[in-house]
Amino acid sequence: MPEVTINWYLALSAVLFTIGALGVLGRRNALIIFMSIELMLNAANLAFVALARHLGDLNGQIFVFFVMTVAAAEVAVGLALIVAIFRTKASINIDEINILKG
Amino acid sequence: MGSFLVFAILAVLAIGSAVGMVLSRNAIHSALFLIGTMAILAVFYVLLNAPFVAMVQVAVYAGAIMVLFLFVIMLLGAERLGGIGAGSRWQIGLAMALGVALLVILGIALFRGGATAGNPEVIDAGPAAFGLRLFEAYVLPFEVTSILLLVAMIGVIVLRTREGKK
């Protein structure tokens, strides 16, 4: 059994971040894209916590705390926007949300 | 940092859950998969000597944020909206190519030059130590965060009430 080093956690973080990025690029449902963004934030949080453990430093955990707060605010506003868009367009397919186009 | 077996099992579960979130056709299933990923990440935080962050992860992410997601999905009835699966074929291909490129770049960035010398000793990361550090070194960001949350709350209320007047 190899020892679990910081690199394993950083690799897991990178894989989760990539899956989130693929979700943002590949899916057309605004809600799924939003969830993928949350997954990317979580992957970054995992890297923060792993490095905080690796370096014996509490500051990384404090950063995670702030990331979570900003994510909560972002989700509240973003979901309100999605509901507003759904009320006007009856769709949350981002390919149909193009009325801002010139 | 935990035994390798525990890490491997949890990592496979987390990645599988994340893939399920992206690929799932039903938005409700996606949200539940994401809750699974977040819960597993909370277990990782416990393994990494971050008990307070793990608790906040479960309460705020898996609790509050995902409940909000599920509420909106069910409010809109978005779980059964047709035609909002994946994009066209070239978009999927491009997304896969860009994803592989991103993974390669992240791998190179993370592993080039080897790991820095760490400090393997376990520090006190309980709620008391966490709060002391937060209010000693990060008072200003903390207060800015409170304003951010206030602005977000007012923004959501404005978004909803303006629509109601029409």
The Cα B88–Cα A93 span in angstroms is: 13
Q: What is the pLDDT of residue B116?
A: 65
B1 close to A (CB below 8 A): yes
pLDDT less than 50: residues of chain A: none
pLDDT tens per residue across all 166 residues of chain B: 668 899 999 999 999 999 999 888 888 999 999 999 999 999 999 999 899 999 999 999 888 899 999 999 888 886 665 444 556 778 778 888 888 888 888 888 777 756 566 767 778 878 898 899 999 999 999 999 999 999 999 999 988 786 555 5
B14/A contact by beta carbon, under 8 A: yes
User: pTM of the predicted model, to two decimals?
Assistant: 0.89
- Residue A4 has a CB neighbour count (10 Å cut-off) of 18
**Chain A residues inside the 8 Å CB shell of B119:** 54-57
Cα–Cα distance, A12 to A8 (Å, whole number):
6
Which of B12, B24, B57, B65 would you mutate first to test chain A, the one with the most A CBs within 10 A?
A: B65
Q: Kindly determine whether residue A84 and residue B49, on different chains, have CB atoms separated by under 8 Å.
A: no
Helix, strand, or coil here: B38? Answer: helix
pLDDT for the residue A35? 92
Q: Supply the DSSP string of A5-65, one letter for each residue.
A: -HHHHHHHHHHHHHHHHHHHHHB-BHHHHHHHHHHHHHHHHHHHHHHHHHHT-THHHHHHH
- Report the candidate in A89, A90, A32 with the shortest Cα–Cα distance to residue B86: A32
Q: A–B: how many Cβ contacts below 8 A?
A: 237
pLDDT of the residue at A13: 92
Reported ipTM: 0.90
